[in-house]
Structure 1
Amino acid sequence: MVCLALTIGWFLYRAGDDATEVLARNALMEVMGRVSQAIDRQTLSARESLNVVAPPPVPPFEPGDAPAVLPFPKDRKQLEERLWLANFLFDDPSYVYFGGADGSFLGIKQESRNRFMYSVREPEGKNYVSYLRGPGTEMQQAAVQDYDPRTRPWYRQAVERGRETWSSVYTDFRLKHLGINLSKPIFDAEGVLMGVASSSIGLRQLTEFLQQLPLGRNGVAFVTELKGDMIATSLNEPLHEVRDNSTEFKRLTAQQSKSPLVQQAFAEVQRYLTANPAEPGRLILLGARSEGSKIEVAFRLHHDQAGLDWLAISVAPRSDFLGSVTGGVYQTLLLGLVAVCLTFVIGFLLLRWVLRDIRKLTLAAKSIGNGSPFPALNIDRNDEIGQLAQSFQEMERNLRTDRLTNVLNRDSLIAQIDFRRHNASEANPLRFAMLFIDLDRFKAVNDEYGHDEGDKVLVVIAERLQHTLRHDDSVARFGGDEFVVYLHGVSEAEVARTIADKIRHSVNKPIEGRDGHQYTVDASVGVSLYPDDGLDVETLLRVADSRMFDQKRLHRMLSV
């Protein structure tokens, strides 16, 4: 009987430990999905602001045709108009500027909602800094500086590399927070360098985002460069310090963090990258021990051709998720011991009953991670295991749906597509189309009527997209005003474009707002086909996203 009791206890412990591991890892997957969206949002704002100042060539409509190139303005007034447009493209404060090969400089920086810094330098002259409230308002001169853009690192790096380039992360001494620049060399039709356009973004908002994430009692999320220099953290600790007897800031590393979890997690990631090649965009899950207790570590490498290499890392102790499991395990173990003392048969039946429910929880948690359909738990209990079953069902809803619009979220859609790909075969091949949708004129609703009305528009658009699609199709919100639609079985581009036109027609219908207002938004839609345009989800998304931006540029040119 003692051996049987110990066996029961061991099985219960292992089942609880497995369920806790899966629960912790799925919680980290949700966190990492949100962190990746925040990083993409930050880097996209710099790139799109730069594309407004210096638009890339528009791909030709017909194969063999030359791409359409929008000439870069040589007139300061025209350049100033582009800088103002780039500043108003996103809500986040930004700094866009252009340094000419002749030493001229023009930059506009949004420091707050109604406060802008205007900086201008004539060739071989002084740089004049003024403040104003917006385009065309009165300027108040603030400073006169000795400043030559051609000597700055962002200018020299872009010229040396001859392409779009990220700067190193730096510390803004005046604002005392981290920032980064994305710069692009500009050439005329003869290939002569005209200068360098650059977009500068602050990284403080990334830390603020991490500090608002639901990470559990002891969970931590942070972003570093490959060598370990900190970029953002969910902890309330500094990212840089002042060197002794100087005004120079020194960046702090993950190894210098006051949190042992941060140090341990970064060490585990470095150990993994030493033994395995880095795979940008792939989410990696690791298990480890920290001070005797088990921890789960998740990380993803963010890399692009402009030189960005950031590690997003999240770590959580399993003990944070153990409380909801151990109570039920201990209670059941006690009942098992009593049952063993009464009869062997009752104890055996009790063992099967307990393990059955915990196995259901384990299988349900694994289904959340691999994107397969969530099984019915059918657990009707009032103890901690019953509460844990309810928590799994709630977690499934949170992991797979966007909280505002109630459609699928990014990671859930990708997981479901991967699940279908892995279950396809030569006898039953998988073909589908993907639509990348970005709402036009949505920012005007947010700016004029507020974010509550903007959220209402997003909810209505999500409902319209769901009503437009078939039962086997899916729609997901990818963040902000972007949606992605999965069209099951669609293998022809013409069919996909017809559905895209149907979606645009549905989105274009007026939306009733507050105080009798009506809002009308449009949509730019990019199409990609599997397997014609790519064999993995990330490639299909990039193709559809690129085609969406091509359509958006066409809309802008046609509306001028």
Structure 2
Amino acid sequence: MRLSFRQSLTVPYVVLVLGVAALIGLLSYRTGSQAVNTVADHLLRETVGRIVQAIDRHIVGSGAVLEAAFPEGMVAPENIETHFDEMRTRFWIATSLHLDPNNYVYYGSRQGQFFGLWRDSIREGELRVKIDPNAPRSLYRFTGIDGALADPVLETKIFDPRERPWYKAGEIQPSYTWTSIYIDFRHAELVATRARRVLGPGGELAGVVATDVSLRQLNDFVRKLKISDRAFAFIMEMDGNLIASSRSSNTKILTDGSSHRINVSESGDDLQIAVFERVRQALAGPPMDPPRTLQFTAPSGHVIELAYDRLNDMAGLDWTIVVAVPRSDFIQGVTENVIRTAFIGGIAALMAIAIGLTILNWVSRDLKQLAEVASQVGNGRLDTPIAIDRHDEIGDLAASFRQMQYRLQIDALTKLANREEILRSINDRIYQHRRKTDDTPFAVFFIDLNNFKFVNDRLGHDAGDKVLVEVGERLRLSIRSGDLVARYAGDEFVVLANDVGSVDNARKIRNSIEKVVGEPMKSVDTSSLAGIMLGAAVGFAYYPSDATTAQQLIKQADTDMYARKHTSKARL
């Protein structure tokens, strides 16, 4: 076929421009896919980390409850009756530490005696006591730590604590232990029990102290996680029994009316079952550094991005946390952008190659920068700047990245730095000190609000949120330029103070913080909290004499805070 001169110029030109458009689409897709891979990996790991932190906050209090009920080294009484009032006071304090979920603490002796305290609320409680091993337990209702006991109600059945699973588990373990998770039939929710043996004067076993931990809050936390429209998460034991799931229930009612735990393989959710089978295969393989991410194709044909971590402790806890997201949730925006770019390239077939190449460089440069920023974010550098100012889809993607970076660094309620950001800042400060770029000493302050639970319980969680915001603002306004304040968790704050100079200066800063936080609250009316002192206990750790890592500094400051809190309570 003979081509005209015009056709000879037009056809190669159109083919060239269409090739450039195809190349743009290919580069856009490849770069976008790389950015998606980095963001997906980081988001999955960060979400697994959030769940691990939630589990840690949920169960770590159980150890403190047992320690308050029977401090390590305290000799068990030979007869509960002779230590009745003392044990009642200790158990009341123990259940006050974490009323939800640790509202029940109890002790069984080797002779078959039993002493337990159940808290219905901050004021109401019930003592469950058995002095005669051959008699049933007596139940005493009362109000307040020193409230008068009502007439006892005798149980109809003989309760022998020595035959209970928590006692049998605790008596054979040298330290803390967890019992198997079971269903509390009164509330149809999962419960785990943490137990510890208590020794007699000669170091022999005298009994076992235990506390129940409801897993309802943990299940609620997982259900409320919002990652994407089709993402889900679940926590399971190694045998596949569900502890919490955002996609299905963890218990079911049988035909006889009894409750039964659900295994992931029995959940009836094909995608959740497929993820479980893939994670089980991975767990059977060689161990890897957690949390681990992987990709697989489900039987439905969906490509799934998932991350998992295995959480265990010396007491026998062994749980697996799984987060899964269909890859299409991540890649959808990139695919749409590629189609749009190819369409524009087709229409632009009559444009000059120079303009096409300019557009190519313009697009690829910013996408490459986004990929590099995403890689930095994936490596933990959340403050990496994005120098992109555009008003198209790439600009929207850049804005989304900036918003993601901001949310990863900032606590949503107080607008202060969050836990990850303060840990990163402390690590950066330690690195500067070691490199001698700034070798002046610094200090980390750990702040825990006093009696904050009473604000939530009596004034409501909205009032509690206002108190947290006001305290955060006070701390922000009171610190020096160059210092950093963060909300660490719940009612806990952390301050990184640079250039402290000496331990005495650190003590002065601590006193200043306690004074600032201890002033009356302006955001809420605290008149109904008469007799309850708010304020805060502040502990600090001095670098480098107290600790040499961020985690050690936080732990030392936390320990110092608790010592100061206990000293303050002793003075009161």
User: TM-score, normalization: structure 1?
Assistant: 0.85
- Cα deviation 1:133-154 (Å, max 9, x = unaligned): 6343646737322211112121
Please report how far the alpha carbon of residue 25 of structure 1 lies from its aligned counterpart in structure 2 after TM superposition.
3.3
Q: Residues 352 and 424 from structure 1, CA distance in 2 versus in 1: closer, same or farther, beyond 3 angstroms?
A: farther
Q: 2:569 aligns with which of 552, 556, 559?
A: 556
Q: Is the 8 A contact 1:117 1:129 kept in 2?
A: no
Q: Is the 8 A contact 2:179 2:194 kept in 1?
A: yes
Q: Is the 8 A contact 2:140 2:151 kept in 1?
A: yes
Please report how far the alpha carbon of residue 396 of structure 1 lies from its aligned counterpart in structure 2 after TM superposition.
2.3
| Alpha-carbon separation, structure 2, partners of 1:176 and 1:500 | 46
Q: Is the 8 A contact 1:325 1:384 kept in 2?
A: no
Query: Residue 402 in 1 paired to residue 418 in 2?
Result: no
Structure 2 matches for 1:20-419, cutoff 5 A? 20-56=36-72, 74-93=82-101, 94-111=103-120, 116-128=125-137, 130=139, 132=141, 134-135=143-144, 136=148, 138=150, 141=153, 143-239=155-251, 242=254, 251-277=261-287, 283-291=291-299, 292-369=301-378, 370-381=380-391, 383-418=392-427
- Cα deviation 1:338-384 (Å, max 9, x = unaligned): 33553221211111222233233333434444134231443231x43
- Cα deviation 1:405-459 (Å, max 9, x = unaligned): 1111112333444556678764547775333221122223333332222222211
Q: 1:9 corresponds to which residue?
A: 25
Secondary structure of 1:120's counterpart equals: strand
| Alpha-carbon separation, structure 1, partners of 2:180 and 2:95 | 22
Please report how far the alpha carbon of residue 13 of structure 1 lies from its aligned counterpart in structure 2 after TM superposition.
0.8
Structure 2: stretches of 5+ with no match in the other structure: 1-15
- Cα deviation 1:242-268 (Å, max 9, x = unaligned): 5x9895x65433344433443444445
| Alpha-carbon separation, structure 2, partners of 1:433 and 1:226 | 41
| Alpha-carbon separation, structure 1, partners of 2:269 and 2:432 | 42
| Alpha-carbon separation, structure 1, partners of 2:506 and 2:318 | 35
Please report how far the alpha carbon of residue 203 of structure 1 lies from its aligned counterpart in structure 2 after TM superposition.
0.7
Q: Is the 8 A contact 2:140 2:149 kept in 1?
A: no
Q: Is the 8 A contact 1:177 1:202 kept in 2?
A: yes
Q: Residues 508 and 402 from structure 1, CA distance in 2 versus in 1: closer, same or farther, beyond 3 angstroms?
A: same
| Alpha-carbon separation, structure 2, partners of 1:46 and 1:553 | 18
Q: Is the 8 A contact 2:127 2:139 kept in 1?
A: yes
- Cα deviation 1:152-179 (Å, max 9, x = unaligned): 1211222211222222222223432211
Compare 188-197 and 218-227 and name the one that shifted more.
188-197
- Cα deviation 1:301-356 (Å, max 9, x = unaligned): 33333232222221112211333333333222322333355322121111122223
- Cα deviation 1:466-501 (Å, max 9, x = unaligned): 223333332221221111223345586554444323
Q: RMSD across aligned C-alpha pairs, in angstroms?
A: 3.3
Question: How many residues end up aligned between the 2 structures?
Answer: 543
Q: 2:538 aligns with which of 516, 519, 525?
A: 525
Secondary structure of 2:137's counterpart equals: strand
Q: Is the 8 A contact 2:234 2:244 kept in 1?
A: yes
Q: Residues 421 and 194 from structure 1, CA distance in 2 versus in 1: closer, same or farther, beyond 3 angstroms?
A: same
| Alpha-carbon separation, structure 1, partners of 2:93 and 2:27 | 63
Q: Is the 8 A contact 2:76 2:207 kept in 1?
A: no
Secondary structure of 1:175's counterpart equals: coil
| Alpha-carbon separation, structure 1, partners of 2:294 and 2:419 | 22
Please report how far the alpha carbon of residue 54 of structure 1 lies from its aligned counterpart in structure 2 after TM superposition.
1.7
| Alpha-carbon separation, structure 2, partners of 1:339 and 1:12 | 17
Please report how far the alpha carbon of residue 233 of structure 1 lies from its aligned counterpart in structure 2 after TM superposition.
0.9
| Alpha-carbon separation, structure 2, partners of 1:392 and 1:401 | 14
| Alpha-carbon separation, structure 1, partners of 2:304 and 2:158 | 53
Name the amino acid aligned to 2:32. Answer: G
- Cα deviation 1:274-315 (Å, max 9, x = unaligned): 445466xx5443344435444322233333332322222211
Q: Residues 171 and 125 from structure 1, CA distance in 2 versus in 1: closer, same or farther, beyond 3 angstroms?
A: same
Q: 1:464 aligns with which of 467, 474, 478?
A: 474
Please report how far the alpha carbon of residue 219 of structure 1 lies from its aligned counterpart in structure 2 after TM superposition.
0.8
Name the amino acid aligned to 1:78. Answer: E
Query: Residue 441 in 1 paired to residue 470 in 2?
Result: no
| Alpha-carbon separation, structure 1, partners of 2:525 and 2:185 | 46
Name the amino acid aligned to 2:219. Answer: T
Q: 2:8 corresponds to which residue?
A: none
- Cα deviation 1:5-44 (Å, max 9, x = unaligned): 3322211111221222233334334433432332122213
Q: Is the 8 A contact 1:261 1:315 kept in 2?
A: no
| Alpha-carbon separation, structure 2, partners of 1:71 and 1:473 | 48
- Cα deviation 1:59-112 (Å, max 9, x = unaligned): xxxxxxxxxx69878511221222223333334252211112221112222356
Q: 1:62 corresponds to which residue?
A: none
Q: 1:66 corresponds to which residue?
A: none
User: TM-score, normalization: structure 2?
Assistant: 0.84
Secondary structure of 2:320's counterpart equals: strand
Compare 418-427 and 536-545 and name the one that shifted more.
418-427
Q: Residues 223 and 162 from structure 1, CA distance in 2 versus in 1: closer, same or farther, beyond 3 angstroms?
A: same
Q: Residues 266 and 376 from structure 1, CA distance in 2 versus in 1: closer, same or farther, beyond 3 angstroms?
A: same
Q: Residues 278 and 535 from structure 1, CA distance in 2 versus in 1: closer, same or farther, beyond 3 angstroms?
A: farther
Q: Residues 39 and 549 from structure 1, CA distance in 2 versus in 1: closer, same or farther, beyond 3 angstroms?
A: same
| Alpha-carbon separation, structure 1, partners of 2:261 and 2:131 | 35
Query: Residue 484 in 1 paired to residue 494 in 2?
Result: yes
Please report how far the alpha carbon of residue 181 of structure 1 lies from its aligned counterpart in structure 2 after TM superposition.
1.0
Structure 1: stretches of 5+ with no match in the other structure: 58-68
Identity of aligned residues (%): 33
Q: Is the 8 A contact 2:443 2:542 kept in 1?
A: yes
Q: Is the 8 A contact 2:196 2:208 kept in 1?
A: yes
| Alpha-carbon separation, structure 2, partners of 1:493 and 1:241 | 60
| Alpha-carbon separation, structure 1, partners of 2:276 and 2:240 | 8
Larger radius of gyration: 2
Q: Is the 8 A contact 2:222 2:233 kept in 1?
A: yes
Secondary structure of 1:296's counterpart equals: strand
Name the amino acid aligned to 1:446. Answer: N
| Alpha-carbon separation, structure 2, partners of 1:239 and 1:448 | 33
Secondary structure of 1:459's counterpart equals: helix
